[in-house]
Amino acid sequence: MTDKQYETKYWNVEHEQIDEHNEHIKEAAAAIQHQEAVAFPTETVYGLGADATTTEAVHKIFQAKGRPGDNPLIVHIANLQQVETVAEEIPDQARKLMDAFWPGSLTVILKSNGASAENVTAGLSTVGVRMPDHPVARALLTACKLPVAAPSANQSGRPSPTTAQHVLDDLTGKVYGVVDGGPTGVGVESTVVDCTAETAVILRPGGVTKEDLEAVIGPVKTASDFKNERKQPKAPGMKYTHYAPNAPFWLMEGNVNTIQNEINRLHKEGKRVGVMASEEHAEQYQHAVVKSCGSKEDLKEVAHKIYHCLRSFNNEDVDIILGETFPKEGVGAAVMNRLEKAATKVMK
């Protein structure tokens, strides 16, 4: 919880002309320049931004979210020149990825030059940097004229916000303001790639897939290649439970019959059961509150919907949520990464 209670400001710019001269954007940028935390949309999820160079400003993010202090933040920038304000060097493979995917949903881990506040890097010698591809985010960052640290704008551990209302549900009274630019697009957080070693490593899957990256720089590794190493995480989403709805969430491998048998067992115990299902199977479940999060044949749609779907169960008074699994190809790797992080347990 924050020590200070805010009358959280709300700026709706969804249907306005968006650039750094927009009055709402200028007001939100001024708040960030004056060490306040402001939520804003990116093409992935809504972020909660503060001046990345000031410890006191960044601390307000951690207070509002209830976020663990050893979980680093991503620095958001408006242009390529700002990379050099926070990074010591830009390796060739990092430049190639920036050229290919920026602005966009890719975060690049680089060696820090020490300009970012220590609570941004969690005391590490590296810093994650991203140039978002959303008109509101780009306008706000341009107006701020400084690098902005921004994790997802939700209560820590809960599903990330894909609408301004999600942010308000979690953080009203805890942050200075929220810029509403409408629903986000990708729906899951950025792919995080560590470019500080000879071979790039995907630390967190996202909308930019392993296949996309390898088409640009050749073979890349994944964090699972190093799963026996115990290190402080270099990127968000690697260590703690994330993305969880209020009720326990059980991720279930298996077919419709397997899941229906579990629904029947819980139903007999008097439990009210929710099911997060694929479009193909949603109508086959009985004795449950069923919500479809998209087709197994369109994993980009699933990625776009999973957080909204998980959050929607909070309004259904369910005791337990069962979730189907999805293929791990392409963006499906990001979908399953988020579901596994959200799960109270995985049932095989």
pLDDT tens profile 298-334: 999 999 999 999 999 999 999 999 999 999 999 999 9
pTM over the 0.75 mark: yes
Is 116 annotated in some ligand binding site?
A: no
Is 71 annotated in some ligand binding site?
A: yes
Model pLDDT, residue 310: 95
Question: So what CATH class is 249-347?
Answer: alpha beta
Please give the Cα distance from 132 to 179 (Å, whole number).
15
Model pLDDT, residue 102: 98
Model pLDDT, residue 1: 41
Is 191 annotated in some ligand binding site?
A: no
Give the SS3 label for residue 119: helix
Is 272 annotated in some ligand binding site?
A: no
Residues contacting 231, CB < 8 A, separation 6+: none
Model pLDDT, residue 69: 77
Cβ 51 vs Cβ 146: under 8 Å: yes
Cβ 107 vs Cβ 44: under 8 Å: no
Is 126 annotated in some ligand binding site?
A: yes
Nearest to 104 by CA among 179, 239, 213: 213
Domain boundaries, the chain: 9-226, 249-347
CA 175 to chain centre: 18
Is 230 annotated in some ligand binding site?
A: no
Task: Return the CATH number of the domain spanning residue range 9-226.
Answer: 3.90.870.10
Main-chain phi, psi angles of 162, to 5 degrees = -115, 0
Cβ 178 vs Cβ 169: under 8 Å: no
Which residue in this structure is represented by tokens 């449950």? 288
Is 255 annotated in some ligand binding site?
A: no
Written as tens digits, the pLDDT of the chain (348 aa) is 446 799 999 999 999 999 999 999 999 999 999 999 999 999 999 999 999 999 999 999 999 999 887 789 999 999 999 999 999 999 999 999 999 999 999 999 999 999 999 999 999 999 999 999 999 999 999 999 999 999 999 999 899 999 999 999 999 999 999 999 999 999 899 999 999 999 999 999 999 999 999 999 999 999 877 654 556 666 665 555 667 899 999 999 999 999 999 999 999 999 999 999 999 999 999 999 999 999 999 999 999 999 999 999 999 999 999 999 999 999 999 999 999 999 999 998
Model pLDDT, residue 235: 65
Is 160 annotated in some ligand binding site?
A: yes
